[in-house]
């Protein structure tokens, strides 16, 4: 196992490269972005992935790699930029590891972040290493704001609700991992550990959307956040799983339709846009914003994930 500064040198080599807008990356007291990198305004967010809260070591080698764990940690933070219609510029990441964690694991975690950096266009330009009882990966993302930022508080009665991608499939992947059948549910496990980038969809929708949020804690919970911020309610349509998702859910003894509404870990975008705007090229219509408070049309009463419930 390497000492701290030896590890920093190893990580610097993994994250090395010329990146647009980065004047100074890893190796000094702080990183520097060029002034025009976020000329339209900076969008910032942070997210943490903690061992035994967001992942388990027992998953490694059972359909999940350390590289996957790291990719998901980065993608979760970058999804917040997508929800603001922002263009990623860079990431800072702070890691805590037990003393006995091997260099091979640290290198694989770094490569997972590098994978996400390449997909999202957000190089890792700095961070911190510390010792901890469990693995903790904290990621801060920096993006450039669009001309119009679709905040949570902008939804209006009559707006159409759209969602990107397939909800509930990441939660099925997690259930498959917990149920010990990851190998037989590989597409769903991949959907959990390698969520798709919705950066381009977010940038496309930002031009017309009244409000937008990423679905990380479950559709009902995140739609509730949007409605509360906007002072509105919502009606959602009955959402059906694919036959493959339904079959896997039956095998696992879970309700696929409930996972669509409250499963979480999707990192898809929920968009409220004017009724005359067509977003069918990036999303599907799932309901509308109403004047009356509350959400109607849901099949489950479980809102979604809560860290402190």
Q: So what's the pLDDT on residue 42?
A: 86
Residues 132-162 have pLDDT tens digits of: 999 999 999 999 999 889 999 999 999 999 9
CATH fold of 4-144 reads 60s Ribosomal Protein L30; Chain: A; (3.30.1330)
Cα–Cα distance, 36 to 241 (Å, whole number): 44
Q: Nearest CA to 139 among 97, 93, 96? A: 93
E runs forming strands in the chain: 22-24, 32-33, 42-50, 87-97, 124-131, 136-144, 160-163, 211-215, 233-236, 268-273, 284-290, 294-296
Cβ neighbours of residue 243 under 8 Å, at least 6 residues apart? Answer: none
The predicted-structure confidence for 169-184, as pLDDT tens digits, reads as follows 999 999 999 999 999 9
| 17-32 pLDDT, tens digit each | 666 766 655 665 555 7
SS3 9: helix
Judge whether residue 5 has pLDDT over 50: yes
Ramachandran angles phi, psi of 287, nearest 5°: 160, -160
pLDDT of residue 296: 95
Does the pLDDT value for residue 207 go beyond 50? Answer: yes
Residue 7 has pLDDT above 50, yes or no: yes
Would you tell me how many other CB atoms lie within 10 Å of the CB of residue 242?
12
Q: What percent of the chain has pLDDT over 90?
A: 78
- DSSP secondary structure code for residue 297 in this structure: S
pLDDT of residue 303: 60
Q: What is the 3-state secondary structure (H, E, C) of 176-222?
A: HHHCCCHHHHHHHHHHHHCCCCCHHHHHHHHCCCCEEEEECCCHHHH
Mean pLDDT of 234-241: 94
Mean predicted lDDT score pLDDT of the chain: 90
Task: Tell me the DSSP string of 252-282.
Answer: HT--HHHHHHH-----EEEEEE-TT---TTT
Give the mean pLDDT of 186-194.
97
Backbone angles phi, psi at 121, to 5 degrees: 75, 40
Q: What's the helix, strand, coil split of the chain in %, to 5?
A: 40, 25, 40
Question: How confident is the model over 250-270, as a mean pLDDT?
Answer: 96
12 closest CA partner among 126, 128, 135, 140: 126
Specify the length of the chain in residues: 309
Sketch the domain layout of the chain as residue ranges. Answer: 4-144, 152-296
Radius of gyration (C-alpha) of the chain in whole angstroms: 20
Which CATH code fits 152-296? 3.90.650.10
pLDDT 10s digits, 32-81: 767 776 767 888 999 999 999 999 999 999 999 999 999 999 999 999 99
**Stretch 252-258: mean pLDDT, rounded?**
95
Gap between the Cα atoms of 122 and 234, Å rounded: 34
Cβ atoms of residues 130 and 204 within 8 Å: no
Tokens linked to 298: 């849901």
User: Residue 200 pLDDT more than 80?
Assistant: yes
What pLDDT, on the 0 to 100 scale, is given for residue 308?
41
């Amino acid at each position: 196992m390497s000492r701290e500064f030896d590890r920093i040198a190893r990580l610097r080599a993994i994250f090395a490269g010329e990146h647009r807008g980065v004047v100074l990356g890893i190796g000094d007291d702080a990183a520097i972005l060029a002034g025009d990198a976020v000329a339209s305004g900076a969008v910032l967010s942070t997210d943490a992935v903690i061992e035994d809260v967001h992942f388990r070591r027992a998953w490694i080698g059972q359909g999940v790699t350390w590289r996957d764990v790291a990719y998901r940690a980065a993608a979760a933070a970058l999804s917040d930029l997508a929800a603001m219609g922002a263009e990623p510029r860079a990431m800072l990441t702070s890691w805590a590891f037990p003393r006995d964690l091997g260099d091979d694991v640290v290198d694989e975690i770094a490569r997972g972040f590098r994978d996400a950096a390449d997909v999202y266009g957000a190089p890792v330009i700095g961070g911190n290493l510390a010792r901890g009882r469990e693995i903790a990966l904290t990621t801060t993302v920096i993006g450039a704001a669009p001309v119009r930022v679709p905040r949570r508080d902008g939804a209006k009665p009559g707006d159409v609700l759209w969602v990107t991608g397939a909800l509930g499939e990441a939660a099925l992947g997690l259930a498959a991992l917990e149920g010990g059948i990851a190998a037989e549910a590989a597409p769903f496990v991949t959907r959990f550990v390698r969520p798709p980038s919705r950066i381009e969809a977010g940038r496309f929708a930002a031009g017309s959307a009244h409000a937008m949020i990423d679905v990380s804690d479950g559709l009902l919970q995140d739609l509730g956040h949007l409605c509360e911020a906007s002072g509105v309610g919502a009606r959602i349509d009955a959402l059906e799983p694919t036959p493959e998702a339904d079959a896997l859910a039956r095998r696992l003894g879970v309700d696929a339709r409930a996972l669509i509404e409250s499963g979480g870990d999707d990192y898809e975008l929920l968009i409220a846009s004017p009724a005359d705007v067509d977003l069918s090229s990036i999303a599907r219509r799932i309901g509308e914003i109403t004047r009356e408070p509350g959400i109607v049309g849901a099949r489950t009463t479980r809102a979604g994930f809560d860290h402190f419930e």
